[in-house]
Chain A
Amino acid sequence: MSSPPRRAAWRKGLAPYLLSSPAGLWLLLLFIVPLLIMLSITLKTCSPASGQCVMTWNWGELPHVVNLYRTQFVTSLIFAAVATIIDLVISFPIAYWIAFYGGRRKNFFLIMLLVPFFVSFIIRTLVWEFILSNNGVVLTFLKGNHLLPSGFHVLGTGFAVVAGLAYNYLPFTALPLYVALERIDRRVLNAAYDLYANRRVAFMRVILPLTVPGIFAAFLLTFIPAFGDYVNQEILGGTANTMIGTVIQNLFLIDSDYAGGASLSAVLLVISLLGIWLYAKLLGSRTIEEYL
């Protein structure tokens, strides 16, 4: 008599696991396991002669590759940081404007912020190559009006790479900032005005502190992909200013040096995780998800 309800209860207890296991297994087998295998490759020692790898828990490979590719790491760090800061500076005012003055057209402006995403990432970058090239629209115009010397060029320099990174990742910065600003309780702001705060004080002591988690989230969500990016560097940067993503891609796809590529990827992952860990430590682990 009691068996059907008990079975139903048992089935009900299983429900969360049944619902989550397809996605969970997919992520486990194709995301977590590959990452662990990649990490394990970096700890193995391979003999160049036979190609056989043995687990030796050799942590030395990580500092070794960092040292070997130090210039590329530094270049990536600088390019990604500069591009991210440019994006924060560009997008804060527009995010502020949409959040506070957007009115009924808020969604329209958000679509305009996302407009680069309607064109393929590769095509976007190719068009920038087009725009920044020596006989492209911008430089031809500026040189024609003698605003720039005729030998001036942008393509193939770090400036072009930073410009491409900044353009391509701007929506990643603008959206978290918008979410943070939008969520500020207007009553708190009105309370500040009622307490005789002027515009600047209200901004500095109410709006800005409440936006800090959003700014940090925007920084991470822009910096991490920009740091590992190699498309902008390969298309806009020419052969100079190699970034770490380019090295990883070449090691895997051209040199078939999986151990070296895996070690560099592991370092890249650790750097990203450090940023996220710092965020969780300072602002709580759940808050960053609110900006995704």
Chain B
Amino acid sequence: MSLTPFARVDESTGSERASRRPRRLGRFVLPTYSWLVIAYLVFPIAVMIVYSFNRVISGLQLVSFAWNGFTFQWYEQWRSIPGLTSAFWLSIRLALVSTVIATALGTLLAIALVRYRGSKFRGKGGIEQILFLNIAAPEIVMGASLLGIFVTFNIARGFLTLVLAHVMFSIAYVTVTVRARLAGFDVSLEEASYDLGASPLGTFRLVTLPLIMPGVLAGALMAFALSIDDFVTSNFVSGSSVPFPVWVYGASRVGTPPQVFVFGTVIFSVGIVFALLSLGLSKKRA
């Protein structure tokens, strides 16, 4: 009986000692610093958004450093540069196709890696090493080596080679993401499904997939983001079909049309709204 108050006293002095100094650090210095870092991260994005509304006064319709006044012109004429628009739609198609393939393959691999080990799954260690190497290897090396085989085997560079490449660099990220969510999976739920007479496919569709869906969606989002933003590998394997980042890079060497900032602003807004919405949803659920 007498132990409890002692323990409590000890605990409170301990935490008091712990909280005396962090109060200053944790409540003032660190938050101020952190918001400054966030401001630094947001600053270029703010510049991009502001300059997507900048008027152009010279003859060539290219972004200029000087502020010439506010205009909606570039939003109204967002489609007026055919190369940019078609590159954008190509990137969307490419991201959708490679996301679907990479998510399917990566999820199956993640299930195999979580479910089976030891003598049941020989080569598991090897696959894990390949996944790791895939994530860690410099992208330029992967892009260059892909270009090498496409040239060696006379495969014409275009949409197909882009899909092959994008799926290749997305699979490992999908697998890692899905595997992380699968770790706490309760196998007895599947066993219950079998006991109730469900087939393996039915069990997968009705029990396994719904349970791992959040992980699969997270992996798919990852794959989509990787694909739509990829420049280095795409630049090696794109050939005649030019995705959005490759087009923007090429154009920027001559001069950037303001529509590039319009696309950047729209993609950013859609992405951030999705992220904040999913944040709100996960909070509501919790």
Contact = CB atoms under 8 A, between A and B. Distances in A.
Contact of A120 (B14, B25, B47, B267): B267
B144 A252 contact: yes
A106 B33 CA distance: 16
B212 interface: no
A15 B14 CA distance: 54
A98 B37 CA distance: 12
Contacts of A231: 231-232, 249
B152 A37 contact: yes
A193 B37 contact: no
Given A16-B120, A94-B34, A126-B248, A261 B144 contact: yes
B123 to A, nearest CB: 8
Interface string A96-129: 1110110000011101111111111111101111
Interface string A207-249: 0000000000000110011011111000100000000010011
Interface string A257-278: 0100110010011001100100
A115 B45 contact: yes
A33 B144 CA distance: 13
B68 to A, nearest CB: 13
A166 B48 CA distance: 18
Contacts of A107: 279, 282-283
B164 A230 contact: no
B21 A199 contact: yes
Nearest to A249: B140
A268 B143 CA distance: 13
Dominant secondary structure at the A interface? helix
Interface in B100-125: 104-106, 108-109, 111-113, 115-116, 120-121, 123-124
Contacts of A116: 41, 44-45
A196 B104 CA distance: 53
A142 interface: no
B148 A97 contact: no
19 contacts: A13-B120, A16-B121, A22-B109, A27-B130, A91-B37, A96-B30, A97-B33, A100-B26, A115-B42, A118-B272, A130-B63, A136-B65, A167-B40, A193-B14, A194-B10, A220-B136, A227-B138, A252-B236, A262-B148
Interface of A: 13, 15-17, 19-20, 22-24, 26-28, 30-35, 37-38, 41, 90-91, 93-94, 96-98, 100-101, 107-109, 111-124, 126-131, 133, 135-137, 167, 170, 190, 193-194, 196, 198-199, 202, 220-221, 224-225, 227-231, 235, 245, 248-249, 252-253, 258, 261-262, 265, 268-269, 272-273, 276, 288-289, 292
Q: Nearest 5 CB-CB pairs, A to B? A: A228-B138, A19-B112, A34-B145, A16-B116, A23-B105
